Amino acid sequence: MNKDHLKIGITCYPTLGGSGVVATELGKMLAEKGHEVHFITHSIPFRLGKFDKNIFYHEVEVSDYYVFKYPLYDLSLASKLASVAQMENLDLLHVHYAIPHAVCALLAKQMVGDHLKVVTTLHGTDITVVAQDESISDLIRYAINESDAVTAVSNDLIKETRRTLLVTKPIDLTYNFVDKRIYYPRDASALRKEYAEPYEKVMIHISNFRPVKRVSDVVDVFAKVSERIPSRLVFVGEGPDLAKVVCQVKKLGLSDRVRFCGKQDDVAQLLSMADVMLLTSEKESFGLVALEAMACGVPTIGSNAGGIPELVTHGETGYLAPIGDTDQMAEFALRLLSDPVGYSIMSNACVQRARTVFCNDLITNQYEETYYRVLGRPMPESLRIDKNICLG
Ligand code: GMT
C-alpha cells in the first residue's frame, strides 16, 4: 500500500440484503484499487469471495454472559471498531445502515480520537421503517448529524430522510452499483431449458420475501400474464411471506408453472435466463435486484415506489405502475413480451444504462471522493478513473 491509499473499516449486515451486498462489493473494488479494507462484522460477508491481499476480516464476538438478558452486539461492535481502528491505524470507518452501525462507529470515534472519520451510508429501511419508531428516531438523527459524511442510495431516500427526521445535514447521493464483470448478458439457454419450454417466457422475482415486497402482487401479475402468454415464474430468496406465497400459488393452480429456488449464489446466471424482473414493492429506496437484472439486459416491471423510478426509466428500461396496480403491471408485461423488436431495444437500453449511470468504477470513485474530503486530503489523480471506462 502506498501513501496515497487509505485504510478503511467497513461495517454492514454481512449475511443478507442489498446493503450487505453493496458494502461487500465496494470493499472489493476499493481493495482492487490498492486501499486496505477491513471488514468488521459478525460473520464473513457472503459475497466476499476469493482472497485478496488488501482485504482483512475482523469478527465481532458477542458476550453471552448470563447477567445480560439481551446480547450486547452494539457494544461489542463499538469496542471492536475502536480496537481495529487503533491496531490497524484506520483512516475511516464506512458504515452501511444507520442503526446500530453509525452509532457504534461514533462511539468508537470518541474512544479513538477525532482523526478517525465516520462515513454513514443510508440504505432505506434504516430510515423508511426503523426511523418511524419514535423511540429510536432521535438516535438515528443524532447518528446522521454527527457522522463526518452521510450518503444515501437514492434522491428519494434523501427526501424521505429529511421529511421523517428533519435533518439538515448534507446528504450526498451515491447510487448503488453493479460489477459489470459479473452482471452482463450471457448465454443462459442451457439453464433456461431446465425452467421453461422454448416457447414460454420467464419472469423472475428475487427478494427477502418481507411484507414491503408485496410478493403476492408478483403472483397476481404472473397469473394475469400467463392467462394470455405461456410463461413461467421463478422465485429466488426466502423470508417471512414465503409460506403465504406458496399457498397463493397452489390456490391459483399455478404450482406447475412456478419454481421456488430459495437462496441462490449465482444470481447473474439466473437473471440472464429471464425475460422480465418483477419488483412490486411498496417501499424500495433503490431496488438493487432491478439493477442487477438491468445489467443482464432484463427489464423490470413493477411499482413506482421510492427510488425505483430513479433506476428504472419508465418506457426505456422497464415499466412502472402505481403500487398494487397489478392489472397495469400485467398489461405492461404483455405488451413487452409480445413485441420482440421493442423488447430487444429495451434490453439493450438496460445494459447501457446499468454500465454508465451505475458503473462500479464510477460509484467507487464517488465514495473515494467522499473519503478524501472528510479526511481533508486531495484525492490523488492516480485514483481518478477514466470516464470512458463507464461508456459501455
Ligand atoms: O429491505 C431490503 O430488501 C433489505 C435492505 C438492506 O438493508 O439491504 O434493502 C435496502 O437497501 C438496498 C441496498 O441499498 C436497496 O436496494 C433496497 O431498496 C433497500 N430496501 C428498502 O428500501 C425496502
User: How confident is the prediction along the chain (392 residues), in pLDDT tens digits per residue?
Assistant: 778 899 999 999 988 788 999 999 999 999 999 999 999 999 998 878 877 899 999 999 998 777 778 888 999 999 999 999 999 999 999 999 888 999 999 999 999 999 999 999 999 877 766 667 777 889 999 999 999 999 999 999 999 999 988 898 999 999 999 999 999 999 999 999 999 999 999 999 999 999 999 999 999 999 999 999 999 999 999 999 999 999 999 999 999 999 999 999 889 999 999 999 999 999 999 999 999 999 999 999 999 999 999 999 999 999 999 999 999 999 999 999 999 999 999 999 999 999 999 999 999 999 999 999 999 999 999 999 887 778 65
The C-alpha cell of 114 is what?
Answer: 477525532
Q: How far does the centroid of ligand 1 lie from the alpha carbon of residue 289, in Å?
A: 10
276 alpha-carbon distance from chain centroid: 19
Would strands 258-260 and 318-321 be described as parallel, antiparallel, or unpaired?
unpaired
| Res 290: pLDDT | 98
7-177+359-391 against 189-356: fold identical: yes
Q: How far does the centroid of ligand 1 lie from the alpha carbon of residue 47, in Å?
A: 16
The C-alpha cell of 228 is what?
Answer: 394470455
Closest residue by Cα to residue 275 from 339, 180, 354, 363? 339
16-37 in b/e burial notation, b at 16+ Cβ within 10 A? ebbbbbbbbbbbbbbbebebbb
Q: How far does the centroid of ligand 1 lie from the alpha carbon of residue 311, in Å?
A: 14
In this structure, the residue with its CA closest to atom 9 of ligand 1 is: 18
Pocket residues: Cβ below 6 A from ligand 1: 17-19, 22, 97, 123-125, 128, 153, 176, 208, 212, 283-288
CA distance linking residue 97 with residue 135, whole number of Å: 18
Q: How far does the centroid of ligand 1 lie from the alpha carbon of residue 156, in Å?
A: 13
- 7-177+359-391 falls under which CATH superfamily? Glycogen Phosphorylase B; (3.40.50.2000)
Q: How far does the centroid of ligand 1 lie from the alpha carbon of residue 85, in Å?
A: 27
> Do residues 120 and 150 make contact, with C-beta atoms less than 8 angstroms apart?
yes
Q: How far does the centroid of ligand 1 lie from the alpha carbon of residue 380, in Å?
A: 32
Per-position DSSP letters for 140-183, written without gaps between them: HHHHHHHSSEEEES-HHHHHHHHHHH---S--EE----B-TTTS
Q: How far does the centroid of ligand 1 lie from the alpha carbon of residue 253, in Å?
A: 31
Task: Identify whether 71 is preceded by a cis peptide bond (ω within 30 of 0).
Answer: no
| Res 51: pLDDT | 76
Instruction: For the chain, give every domain's residue range.
Output: 7-177+359-391, 189-356
pTM for the complete prediction? 0.94
A 10 A CB-CB count for 51 gives 6
**Ramachandran angles phi, psi of 217, nearest 5°:** -65, -30
Closest residue by Cα to residue 324 from 214, 246, 232, 226? 214
Task: Identify whether 100 is preceded by a cis peptide bond (ω within 30 of 0).
Answer: yes
66-86 in b/e burial notation, b at 16+ Cβ within 10 A? eeeeeeeebebbbbbbbebbe
H-run or E-run covering 9: strand 7-11
A 10 A CB-CB count for 349 gives 18
Architecture of domain 189-356: 3-Layer(aba) Sandwich (3.40)
Q: How far does the centroid of ligand 1 lie from the alpha carbon of residue 206, in Å?
A: 12
Largest CA-CA distance found in the chain, in angstroms, rounded: 66
Which atom of ligand 1 is nearest the CA belonging to 19?
A: 8
Which atom of ligand 1 is nearest the CA belonging to 129?
A: 23
Q: How far does the centroid of ligand 1 lie from the alpha carbon of residue 125, in Å?
A: 6
Site to substitute for ligand 1 among 12, 128, 129, 284, most atoms within 8 A of C-beta: 284
CA distance linking residue 67 with residue 32, whole number of Å: 44
The C-alpha cell of 208 is what?
Answer: 427477502
| Res 130: pLDDT | 67
Site to substitute for ligand 1 among 19, 164, 174, 213, most atoms within 8 A of C-beta: 19
Our CA angle for 129, 148, 178, nearest 5°, is: 60
> Do residues 117 and 32 make contact, with C-beta atoms less than 8 angstroms apart?
no
The C-alpha cell of 349 is what?
Answer: 437500453
Helix axes 340-356, 288-295, angle to 10 degrees: 110
Which atom of ligand 1 is nearest the CA belonging to 96?
A: 7
In this structure, the residue with its CA closest to atom 7 of ligand 1 is: 19
**Residue 253 DSSP class:** T
CA distance linking residue 144 with residue 46, whole number of Å: 27
Which atom of ligand 1 is nearest the CA belonging to 154?
A: 14
Question: 444470481: which residue's cell?
Answer: 267
